[in-house]
Structure 1
């Protein structure tokens, strides 16, 4: 087991049992001799941690030590989240479902028309149409989204006060600020273009009356339900309802159409498809007013449906215009075909009858020629005559067939022209019926409706984020503070600089002299002698006894790098425990700027002291004050001089040190911080030993190094150091041991 930091390095278990302390110290007085203390046995110094090594136990210990700060910042984060929730107006959401259908009418149209009018749903295209200026502009115009009515709220907390009725604060809030439950509704607002976007303050002046402050400085008075207009600018205003006390102020404005559309598209409206390729569009609109959300979304959805119907009707209208443009040409072609047929029939009225007669005659002649061929004695002249007649009839029959073919062609032309004309008439009637019954290819599945509960702010999420951010900021603050402070963590930090640590004094809550503590300070060695801090002082007494065996004088200067390190606490309690061990002790307050020892022993401030001794105005015997323990004498600072450093450089300081060595076994000089003034260096040159007090987890290592250099540069080596205010809870854990030992009060036998 290693000896504890608060116990003596060698010697008996308790200092009171040491025979070396029970009698006065006898030391050589050779001139020019300096302190050369017997070096204490070197103890193993734990290796310094690697820079890139993260000690999780130390990290957790650092966070645990800062748990109060982390809890405070976390609580502040929760309070900030609660303030944000209370001061944020609730946001509601209205939604509607729209189905995209194929463009096929319910009428019995020809299959060719039905195929032309059918179309697959195009969700992306319809979403863009729904968010277009054409549709949103109609929605803005119908719902008057470009009107703005904002109540005048109290700065910073106005939203919370406008949401919750607080009768206690009503008398403290000016009358112009709107309270919870108060509002105003407009029936008409028309602002000239140059005033669009300008806020106009409407002040309620009475029951049903108001005054509107115009942007040009003039005022317009009006009453609820009656139009109020300004003939000079063309501004018109009709207030439908006022539910507010006189004196309340509302801010009215009308934004431009494009600005309203842009705001609606970016901040209020969102459109998406439910499921890929489903053809179901979901339109959502968020805002602080539930009823207003439904009104605006309903206007937008209806405008979209109407434009879709108009688009379908426009397509039918174009088809009808095309058909009607073709009807005159078809009718003209029919008339021309009929006229050609009639003219041919008038010219060739007997085409059908002559053909039959010629055919009969040809048949008869062919029969006679056949009979002549059968007769043996046929006359050649008769045959020749019949054949000539037959050839003549056949020629006439060929001419008759050509006329019949021309008649058939003319008849066919008339039929085709008539059929085309009738088809166009039929198509025109069908398209007219389609136009008259156009319903578009969209259908509202769910009418716009608002959610009963607000969608924002999300209270659980915000509280969780506030707590999380608060905890992160608190933890970060603890880690940054720990990283920036670089305070002495244990005796090994000081010993690495080549300065031996004579004792480690535990933190004493009762004797804490730091901060803004006022009044008398307790001497813990008297009020609570069994406290661990007192045991550390006793360890310092023992270490100092052996360390000053070769000192020229039994005098020691106690200083620190900075104020608040606990040097006065160490000096006062060391003097008490040394006197309790039977030594003659002289405690001198050498801080001629802001001495603190009088607060420990309740000494009068006007008492002659060190200043008068150094100035030659008093002898040391005349300034001594009896301490609370037998054998302890105290010399106060006296009056604060204007030149402390120059006063300490007088020969009288060496005479005082010699007087202390002749009349006391130990003299303790409580010096000011060395990094603030040069007084400790001056004292260290004439006293037998110099101790530096560093406060655990407070004194930066850089200041310890600077204090060591300050003494070395003056040729005054430091004898050792004292680690004060040691807190076991803040001690490093990477070395694998903890501080568990403690003294308890002994039972009386």
Structure 2
């Protein structure tokens, strides 16, 4: 547990140390983001939220509630108004279009203020509505260019100068929204008198100043934009939100957002008014159709009544009769009663046939209207037709915002078709039942009439005419009653929807931009971005980052680390005696003397994976430290392809060296050079040969190593890099200790596989060690304390 806590504390401290090294990023990035946020807040128009509320009816009714006596309580469920359907209608493009057609939103007015930030461009823009100081009246019959900023300037002579340009403009039919032409590189430059019609190929409008123009502040620019009708509908439809105030509530809350309060409140109010008006118009249309149907029936029945009354009066006058007498009153009464039943049954049967015919022609609305106007009392058909009317209403509401492929719409069509088929079967059965009843009444009438035939002919004819007149009079009175009811329903029609709260501002604080939140986000992002960058860089680094990483990746023992010299240093002991790099070489020298003790540990080879890792730097400086500690040391530079050792000691690179000795061009004594450092000898590479590899393979090289073993305490071999040439695999047979140099944050991790490969080649008492070079103590958490090591050096 303590080990885990210590590891967590180390990781956190290491992380904070890395962040501290780049403290300026944690200051600069937040400042830049705060500045960008300030510009964003200053240039973004504040957007406010507005809302209104609308109440729906509990159930759909064709007229006022006071005039409704058609549905029974048990059947009222079928006419419940669907909240989802009404929301779909309220948010439909067609209703939004109707509302916008009643508003003057086709032109938007803007000002570019004289603020300091607008010196960088038209960044801070303010929109106006009814207070811009002028109005633009469009000729909607003529096509107009939409979406282009048209700048307006009042000249000293009182004329308006209009100019604008755009890479692409659209000539639009304002009535349909169709794009008539796309104009590339559009430019406009015209002068017009206030109140005068400007008619051009691309614009037809009139600009009229208002009284408020005298009190308007000075601005940098004024311009207006003609909005595309369909784009305007899409904009308002996109930001309109309609939802119930509570679950299962029938009060809807309409919400929209915008930077100009006058436009948003007018839009919400007009949208609700249009919605309520459409509902009333729809009710009046249904009532008018019912009234027209009853009127047509009254005309027919009134004509029949006049003919029957005229026939009765004519018969009595021709026969000199006033009353047929009481003799036939009983039979005539029965005939009258049966004829009345037959007439009502025929009327009911015709109603059934009318409704059935309407259903077969897929006219559900006509079927419902015919049934409602007939006044037939049949609860079963009432329920079924009410259900059909509800399904049809739901489909009409959904069809506003859905196409024929919508699965919900298809399901409603299937339910409507099933209800129609069920009604057709019911009506067919009722018609058959009516026919049977009519046949029975006809038989009974025939029987009574046979009995009456026994009466005198005049009495019989008078009774027949009087019965027909009575029947027509009853039908006429019945239709007149229904006509009065339909007229009352039409006269008292009101919408079931009601505006509860007109549009108003929801909150005095803007919806966006929220300055405090944006500034807090900018600060957090400014801290998180550099932190994330540093963590990502650390995690994705492909180079060796620490000694711990070396220990994890390789099995070779770790010899030590060398501090970064910070500049071009050759011999640190001579140039920087009191530095961390000099102290680190002392430490490595002590470690090396410990692991390389004994007569069989005298030849020490230095190599690396590639050039630039400081192999020669470590080799020469460590050899200097060994020599200064009293050990007789010689450096053999076997990297004859790219020799650099001579330059470390100020020798001439053309002087005889290893290549000269191996070629037999000089003696060993002539090849060895003595620097100013006591106990140190240098056998530099000499002139660059063409056959470096072959020279190292000669027996003369083996003899050289054997001879130097006897003459020196340490033989330091500066070998070529493993990753570039293969000489070290030849030299490896002569070395007792191999030191593989890795440069901090330079050597690639994948190159460490060469350490493992080299370790497998070690035989007998040969040993391999890893040396980490170029460690910047001040920038490395693990070794930050060593940056003070120079203070402890004598």
Q: Which bin holds the TM-score, normalised by the shorter protein? A: 0.5 to 0.7
Matched, 1:111 2:45: no
Q: Deviations over 1:684-729 (max 9, x none)?
A: 5666643222357875564233356479889999741224268999
The correspondence for 2:738, drawn from 680, 690, 693, is 690
User: Aligned-pair distance for 1:416?
Assistant: 1.6
Q: Deviations over 1:547-596 (max 9, x none)?
A: xx226xx4422121235655455435533442343212345666677777
Q: Is the 8 A contact 1:204 1:210 kept in 2?
A: yes
- Matched residue count: 612
Partner of 2:590: 538
Matched, 1:180 2:124: yes
Partner of 2:274: 303
Partner of 1:613: 657
The correspondence for 1:261, drawn from 233, 239, 242, is 233
Matched, 1:95 2:51: yes
With over 3 angstroms needed to count, the CA separation of the structure-2 counterparts of 1:723 and 1:555, relative to structure 1, is: closer
Select between 535-544 and 201-210 the one with higher mean Cα deviation: 201-210
User: Aligned-pair distance for 1:135?
Assistant: 0.9
Partner of 1:229: 198
The correspondence for 1:625, drawn from 662, 675, 679, is 675
Q: How does 1:419-430 map to 2 (within 5 A)?
A: 419-430=477-488
Partner of 1:481: 540
| TM-score where L is the length of structure 2 | 0.60
2: CA distance between counterparts of 1:710 and 1:723?
14
2: CA distance between counterparts of 1:299 and 1:644?
96
User: Aligned-pair distance for 1:221?
Assistant: 1.6
User: Aligned-pair distance for 1:239?
Assistant: 7.8
User: Aligned-pair distance for 1:87?
Assistant: 3.6
The correspondence for 1:581, drawn from 629, 632, 635, is 629
2: CA distance between counterparts of 1:348 and 1:69?
129
Matched, 1:212 2:164: yes
2: CA distance between counterparts of 1:582 and 1:398?
168
With over 3 angstroms needed to count, the CA separation of the structure-2 counterparts of 1:611 and 1:695, relative to structure 1, is: same
User: Aligned-pair distance for 1:100?
Assistant: 0.8
Q: Deviations over 1:647-692 (max 9, x none)?
A: 9759897797678656643243444532134454565566664322
Partner of 1:278: 249
Matched, 1:323 2:379: no
Structure 2 unaligned residues grouped into runs of 5+:
170-182, 328-452
Matched, 1:454 2:506: no
2:610 aligned counterpart, secondary structure:
coil
Q: How does 1:35-74 map to 2 (within 5 A)?
A: 65-66=14-15
Matched, 1:336 2:392: no
Q: Is the 8 A contact 1:230 1:236 kept in 2?
A: yes
Q: Is the 8 A contact 2:607 2:718 kept in 1?
A: yes
RMSD: 5.8
Q: Deviations over 1:319-349 (max 9, x none)?
A: 3322333332243244334434534554676
Structure 1 unaligned residues grouped into runs of 5+:
1-54, 152-161, 357-394
The correspondence for 1:721, drawn from 757, 769, 775, is 769
User: Aligned-pair distance for 1:631?
Assistant: 3.5
Q: Is the 8 A contact 2:257 2:264 kept in 1?
A: yes
User: Aligned-pair distance for 1:513?
Assistant: 4.4
Q: Is the 8 A contact 2:640 2:689 kept in 1?
A: no
2: CA distance between counterparts of 1:355 and 1:191?
80
Partner of 1:133: 93
Partner of 2:422: none
Q: Deviations over 1:441-493 (max 9, x none)?
A: 34343425354333345636956995898599558726742689798746655
Q: How does 1:386-401 map to 2 (within 5 A)?
A: none
| TM-score where L is the length of structure 1 | 0.63
2: CA distance between counterparts of 1:239 and 1:597?
90
2: CA distance between counterparts of 1:479 and 1:527?
28
Q: Is the 8 A contact 2:151 2:163 kept in 1?
A: yes
Select between 79-88 and 279-288 the one with higher mean Cα deviation: 79-88
1:232 aligned counterpart, secondary structure:
coil
Q: How does 1:537-686 map to 2 (within 5 A)?
A: 537-546=589-598, 549-550=599-600, 554-563=602-611, 565=613, 567-568=615-616, 570-587=618-635, 604=650, 607-609=651-653, 612-614=656-658, 616=660, 623-627=673-677, 630-632=678-680, 645=692, 649=696, 661=709, 664-678=712-726, 680-681=728-729, 684=732
Partner of 1:434: 492
